[in-house]
Amino acid sequence: MYSFKNDYSEGAHPRILEALIESNTEQVEGYGEDKYTKEAIRLLKEKIGREDIDIHLLPGGTQTNLTAISAFLRPHEAAISANTGHILVHETGAIEATGHKAISVKVDNGKLNPDDIKPVLEEHADEHMVKPKLVYISNSTEIGTIYKKEEIEELSKFCRENDLLLFLDGARLGSALCSEDNNIKLSDLGNLVDAFYIGGTKNGALLGEALIICNDYLKTDFRYHIKQKGALLAKGKVLGVQFLELFKDNLYFDLANHANDMAKLLRNGITEAGYSFLINSCSNQIFPIFPKEIAEKLGEKYAFYIWEKIDKDNSAIRLVTSWATREEKVMEFVEDLKRYSRESIK
């Protein structure tokens, strides 16, 4: 059974494991005050092109989202998210558990634009309702689409004009930045959003996300919030070593490129076999639509999620590739799909 269920089934890239082993018995300061974390932060600031940003390393994506959003909002303020957004669908109400409403906006492609947000602002017009304050977006989105530079520029301008914060979930930012359709750079994000994070967990690290706070207003006492939410690791070196290894050269982007390349091979093979997709995705997540019997047959050899039932005979499945996805397994999947399809016609 080979898994295409997610991009964190494997452990970590060998270079990261080697770096962790090499530094294993070295005694350093705790809670992110170690030399590895400091050097990783210096490197990230250099790549983002801003010295005046604050960077914090946290263990996971949900913890980063709830720690950041709850810290950025006052008690009566709310976050706006696409209806597919991770904070709405797959975080067990983590944002709401901190006392902040998450407002859902229905979209077709996983992405928000100003026209989606305007009705929310108009509806929440007084103190009898929560006050929308933060716009939450993901890049890449939960359904594999990506934001183009002009789309984030438009959102950024709208948010600043309407006194809204723009927060970007970058759990799969590597895949987005390395997509063939992408035209935005890491350095652009430092000037367009109030805060964002760079996901390591889904791009070759054992665990860890790098939260970048660009807005001075949001920086105050943030380590207090991290500690209160249980996200300030005593062995912070574990995160620092990993991000230093990912960004001291091009490893982070090499790993994301591999994941995207494997997804492209899958996409092309599935298209050649005559199948369509639920959505036009250009990242490491794809959503082909298969007849029920084909999906069941593939499920005997490959692990994946049934994403959406299209009708009584067809369903969209989700296939996710990673930094460690093996090309021979991708080609094997495509060949099996073609063979099962020929057999079903007979």
User: What is the tens place of the pLDDT at every residue in 126-168?
Assistant: 999 999 999 999 999 999 999 999 999 999 999 999 999 999 9
Q: Could you tell me which of 15, 8, 56 has the C-alpha nearest to residue 248?
A: 15
* Distances from the Cα of 334 to the Cα of 262, 274, 304, angstroms: 12, 11, 14
The DSSP annotation for 161-185 comes to: HTT-EEEEE-TTHHHHHTSTT----
Residue-wise burial string across 93-128, b where 16 or more C-beta atoms lie within 10 A, e elsewhere: ebbbeeebbbbbbebeebbbbbebbeebbeebeeee
Mean pLDDT over residues 77-96, rounded?
A: 97
Tell me, what's the pLDDT at 36? 98
- Bridge partners (DSSP) listed for residue 209: 58, 199
pTM of the predicted model, to two decimals? 0.97
Domain boundaries, the chain: 2-6+251-345, 14-247
Pairing outcome for strands 77-82 and 102-105: parallel
Q: Would residue 290 be called left, alpha or beta, if left means φ above 0 and alpha means ψ between -120 and 50 degrees?
A: beta
- In angstroms, how far is CA 278 from the centroid of its own chain? 20
Extract the tokens encoding 195. 């805060």
Phi, psi dihedrals of residue 2, rounded to the nearest 5°: -105, 135
Tell me, what's the pLDDT at 346? 56
Extract the tokens encoding 51. 């010295």
Percent of the chain with pLDDT over 90: 99
Tell me the H-state helices in 98-148. 114-123
d(CA 98, CA 116): 25
Q: Could you tell me which of 58, 6, 66, 31 has the C-alpha nearest to residue 319?
A: 6
Q: Could you tell me which of 253, 265, 252, 250 has the C-alpha nearest to residue 327?
A: 265
Tell me, what's the pLDDT at 343? 84
d(CA 164, CA 190): 16
Which residues are within 8 A (CB) of 71 and not within 5 positions of it... i.e. 6 or more apart? 218, 222, 225
Q: Are 132 and 78 in contact (CB under 8 A)?
A: yes
Burial of 51 (0-12, 13-18, 19+ CB in 10 A): exposed
Q: Are 211 and 55 in contact (CB under 8 A)?
A: yes
Architecture of domain 14-247: 3-Layer(aba) Sandwich (3.40)
User: What is the tens place of the pLDDT at every residue in 14-49?
Assistant: 999 999 999 999 999 999 999 999 999 999 999 999
The pLDDT-based confidence of 344 (bands split at 50, 70, 90) is confident
The pLDDT-based confidence of 345 (bands split at 50, 70, 90) is low
Q: Could you tell me which of 78, 144, 66 has the C-alpha nearest to residue 105?
A: 78
Average pLDDT, the chain: 97
User: What is the tens place of the pLDDT at every residue in 230-269?
Assistant: 999 999 999 999 999 999 999 999 999 999 999 999 999 9
Mean pLDDT over residues 301-318, rounded?
A: 96
Please tell me what DSSP assigns to residue 325: -
With 60 as the cut, is the pLDDT of residue 184 above it?
Answer: yes
Q: Are 189 and 48 in contact (CB under 8 A)?
A: yes
The pLDDT-based confidence of 72 (bands split at 50, 70, 90) is very high
d(CA 297, CA 184): 39
Give the length of the chain. Answer: 346
Mean pLDDT over residues 81-99, rounded?
A: 96
Tell me the H-state helices in 14-54. 14-22, 35-48
Phi, psi dihedrals of residue 320, rounded to the nearest 5°: -125, 130
User: What is the tens place of the pLDDT at every residue in 101-123?
Assistant: 999 999 999 999 999 999 999 99
Is the domain covering 2-6+251-345 a CATH 3.90.1150.10 domain? yes
Q: Are 269 and 332 in contact (CB under 8 A)?
A: no
Extract the tokens encoding 120. 């929310």
The position carrying tokens 């914090």 is 56
With 90 as the cut, is the pLDDT of residue 91 above it?
Answer: yes
Please tell me what DSSP assigns to residue 291: E
Tell me, what's the pLDDT at 147? 98
